[in-house]
Chain A
Amino acid sequence: MSTETLKSIKNKQKRQQLFAKLKDEQNKKRHKLRASRAKEELDNPELKAKRLEQNVPKTIESMRVYDESVGFELEGEDDFAEYFVNTNKEPKILITTSPHAKKTAYKFASTLMDIIPNTTFVKRKREYTMKDMSEYCSNREFTDLIVINEDKKVVNGITFIHLPHGPTFYFSISSLRDKKQISGHGNATEHIPELILNNFTTRLGQTVGRLFQSLLPHRPEIQGRQVITLHNQRDYIFFRMHRYVFRNEEKVGLQELGPQFTLKLRRIQRGIREEIDWEHRPDMDKDKKKFYL
């Protein structure tokens, strides 16, 4: 029975009944096909390889709008150059919150302190602006200032200021999950974690990648087996932290340590919050296939 005849049936209940039957038949057919194919491919793995090669699904990423800065080699130096040249100087970071912060902001600050080594927390005082704080931090040889933004008891943003000359990054934070909310989570140790930066391809993405690189000390302590992953997908940056376990010579297991959150780049400013380098505008979301990172 085809859908044409189905449409001509006026009784809704009957039509639904027949439609369900039709659907069920189709499903059964498909399952049968898949089962037989799986059996075939188990005997002959080449067939599977061939099928996967031929049948590449179209994704938004694969249909991405051309961006000339993808794979463009870094030219000259930027403000992060010092971190990469002077490998003896370790980053020193100060974390603070927005003024009148509530408990969630402090909690997030403490989790960040557990993740990023060599950090100090200072309670925010109303009278100091970001500019003032940056100046005080530069005088005390801090290399980065992190300000956590909280609104209505929800952490919603984070600012990174690279010291002493900027740039300033503002990210919005969403989907924040504490490690306690992750089932089967482990507890992070004091070791310096490794960092995986995934998929930061454009020139802007490279700048963002360099920011995260410059937050962590140069040499990770690999005996800790802890990894921070920052995975960029469609301009959303996913933060995950894991410990890897060598089960045997071939198998490696992962244990999530938490927290989980998603960052989205909103703004980059030159210097300490001066001229706009890049800013997310709502009309950038119009083209779903255009990505900036």
Chain B
Amino acid sequence: MKLLVSAEESGALKEIVCERGTDTSKQQAVQPSSIRTVCQETRDTRVQIFILYEKYLIAARKGGLVTIYDIGDKYTEIKRLEGLSNSPEDVFVALFQLHGKIYACTEEGKVSIVEPESWAVEHVSIKGPISSFVGDQFRPDVFAYGGKENDLVVIDLATKKELYKVKNVPNNKLDLREPVWISKIAFATEKDDKKDVYKLITVTRYGQVRFYDSAHGRRPVLNFKLSDKPLITLAKLDDHSIVCSDTHTTTAKFDFKTGKMLGKFQGAVGSIQAIDVHSGLLATGGLDRYVRCFDLESREVVAKVYLGTQISDVRVVEAEEQEVAAESAAEQKQPAVEEEEDAESSDDDDDDEMWQKLETTLVEKRKRRKLK
């Protein structure tokens, strides 16, 4: 499989080619066949989010920079777009492609729409602070955003008309207002839904997951507290399950229809900053400087690679094994196994001698069993 990871401390991207079973923490395990540092810049212009679009790699960097690279062997820079943020401290919260356009959004609410190939930029501003900005893949121009004390809004970006504005959940039993801090949003609309029905999932910094359906009013249809810790990432798997990670070490699969945890993805020591789901694989990267790949069904670690820098974003480029790489790795693996066998057989020789000296039928039986 091939992974791309953004290194926070060096401002670079890293390309990792590895196969299933890779684990850099074990010397005997399979090691990644290559780790390459590309698109190197400094920490001041580190990559915050990046996406792969057709033959381009688009990276949103700190300081309102968006750089576009050609996904070839060299990752040559094609274009550099500047001034996509309001201030130097402003951070990108979203970068995605939808309906042939690329959208970038910053925390302060500056949305940039980039036309691919010509790389012309258009700006729209929405009300900040924003933690998440997403688009509906079935309906053009329908977007949703939210953030700290900025509850979920669905808008038509072309006309800037509010299509659906949610209402905060009722006050708690002490009649105190529930604070709002959306961290991630995902559209859950189906293709055959009515045109004016919006279904969304949000996770919050207060640990809740909420499911909104505009056909059922402005308050969330489902609202569950999943964790005491702030949830910071979200990936939708199917019509009822999501993967979330918090600011501590938990990454888990949840059922947002029942609020139950379906299972944890174990191993992380630091907070997971980014997750990516790609054909049955879940890639995670975070502050513990490891990129891990999990099997979504069995939740077992498929690959684990140490990178040396903290990770801000991760993408699975190819999930399949590359045959050539697999073969060469198998060749590498072969001699190691043989060596082990050698070591065992030499031990066996010594044992054999000892047993031969004793020469009892019982011992012979035991020996035969051992050799099997």
B24 within 8 A of partner (CB)? yes
Contact A276 B247 (CB under 8 A): yes
Q: Given the known A-B contacts A203-B289, A277-B271, A277-B288, are A75 and B7 also in contact in the complex, defined by CB atoms under 8 Å?
A: yes
A221 within 8 A of partner (CB)? no
1/0 per residue A273-293: CB within 8 Å of B?
011111100000000000000
A201 within 8 A of partner (CB)? no
Contact B270 A277 (CB under 8 A): yes
Alpha-carbon distance between A203 and B269 when the two chains are bound, in angstroms: 13
Q: Given the known A-B contacts A66-B25, A76-B11, are A275 and B309 also in contact in the complex, defined by CB atoms under 8 Å?
A: no
Alpha-carbon distance between A69 and B10 when the two chains are bound, in angstroms: 17
1/0 per residue A48-75: CB within 8 Å of B?
0000000000000000001111001101
Contact A76 B288 (CB under 8 A): no
Chain B, 269-296, CB within 8 A of any chain A CB: 269-271, 273, 287-289
Contact B309 A279 (CB under 8 A): no
Contact B247 A275 (CB under 8 A): yes
Contact A68 B25 (CB under 8 A): yes
Return A3 CB to nearest CB of chain B, in Å.
23
Chain B's closest residue to A67 (CB) is B25
Contact A76 B247 (CB under 8 A): no
Across the interface, A276 reaches (CB within 8 A) one of B11, B249, B289, B308, namely: B249
Contact B26 A75 (CB under 8 A): no
Alpha-carbon distance between A203 and B270 when the two chains are bound, in angstroms: 13
Chain B, 1-51, CB within 8 A of any chain A CB: 7-12, 24-27, 42-43
Alpha-carbon distance between A275 and B308 when the two chains are bound, in angstroms: 18
A78 within 8 A of partner (CB)? yes
User: Which B residues are in CB contact (< 8 Å) with A69?
Assistant: 289, 306, 308
User: Which A residues are in CB contact (< 8 Å) with B25?
Assistant: 66-68
Contact B271 A76 (CB under 8 A): no
Alpha-carbon distance between A229 and B25 when the two chains are bound, in angstroms: 30
Q: Given the known A-B contacts A69-B289, A270-B287, are A203 and B308 also in contact in the complex, defined by CB atoms under 8 Å?
A: yes
Chain A's closest residue to B41 (CB) is A76
Contact A77 B42 (CB under 8 A): yes
Contact A279 B249 (CB under 8 A): yes
B160 within 8 A of partner (CB)? no
B248 within 8 A of partner (CB)? yes
Chain A, 75-95, CB within 8 A of any chain B CB: 75-78, 81
Contact A278 B288 (CB under 8 A): yes
Tell me if B's interface is mostly helix, strand, loop or mixed. Answer: loop
Q: Given the known A-B contacts A69-B289, A72-B308, A77-B42, are A274 and B7 also in contact in the complex, defined by CB atoms under 8 Å?
A: no
Contact B10 A75 (CB under 8 A): yes
Contact-residue size bin, chain B (C-beta under 8 Å from the other chain): 20 to 34
User: Which A residues are in CB contact (< 8 Å) with B270?
Assistant: 275-279
User: Which A residues are in CB contact (< 8 Å) with B309?
Assistant: 75-76
Contact B248 A276 (CB under 8 A): yes
User: Which B residues are in CB contact (< 8 Å) with A203?
Assistant: 289, 308
Return A82 CB to nearest CB of chain B, in Å.
11
Chain B, 125-176, CB within 8 A of any chain A CB: none
User: Which B residues are in CB contact (< 8 Å) with A78?
Assistant: 9
Alpha-carbon distance between A267 and B309 when the two chains are bound, in angstroms: 18
User: Which B residues are in CB contact (< 8 Å) with A77?
Assistant: 9-10, 42-43
User: Which B residues are in CB contact (< 8 Å) with A67?
Assistant: 25
Alpha-carbon distance between A277 and B269 when the two chains are bound, in angstroms: 7
Alpha-carbon distance between A88 and B26 when the two chains are bound, in angstroms: 43
Contact A276 B271 (CB under 8 A): yes
User: Which A residues are in CB contact (< 8 Å) with B43?
Assistant: 76-77, 81
Contact B10 A275 (CB under 8 A): no
User: Which A residues are in CB contact (< 8 Å) with B273?
Assistant: 275
Contact B271 A75 (CB under 8 A): no
Return B38 CB to nearest CB of chain A, in Å.
14
Alpha-carbon distance between A162 and B288 when the two chains are bound, in angstroms: 19
Alpha-carbon distance between A81 and B309 when the two chains are bound, in angstroms: 14
Alpha-carbon distance between A278 and B248 when the two chains are bound, in angstroms: 9
1/0 per residue B223-238: CB within 8 Å of A?
0000000001000000
Return B114 CB to nearest CB of chain A, in Å.
27
Across the interface, A279 reaches (CB within 8 A) one of B11, B232, B269, B308, namely: B269
Alpha-carbon distance between A78 and B232 when the two chains are bound, in angstroms: 22
Contact A76 B287 (CB under 8 A): no
User: Which A residues are in CB contact (< 8 Å) with B249?
Assistant: 276, 279
Contact A275 B287 (CB under 8 A): yes
Additional 18 contacts, C-beta under 8 A, given A76-B10, A270-B271, A278-B270: A66-B26, A67-B25, A68-B306, A69-B306, A72-B308, A75-B10, A75-B309, A76-B42, A77-B42, A78-B9, A203-B289, A203-B308, A275-B247, A275-B248, A275-B287, A276-B248, A276-B270, A276-B287
The 4 closest A-B pairs by CB, nearest first: A76-B10, A76-B9, A275-B271, A275-B247
Q: List 22 A-B contacts (CB under 8 A).
A: A68-B24, A69-B289, A75-B10, A76-B10, A76-B42, A76-B43, A77-B9, A77-B10, A78-B9, A81-B43, A203-B308, A270-B271, A270-B287, A275-B232, A275-B247, A275-B273, A276-B247, A276-B249, A277-B287, A277-B310, A278-B270, A279-B270
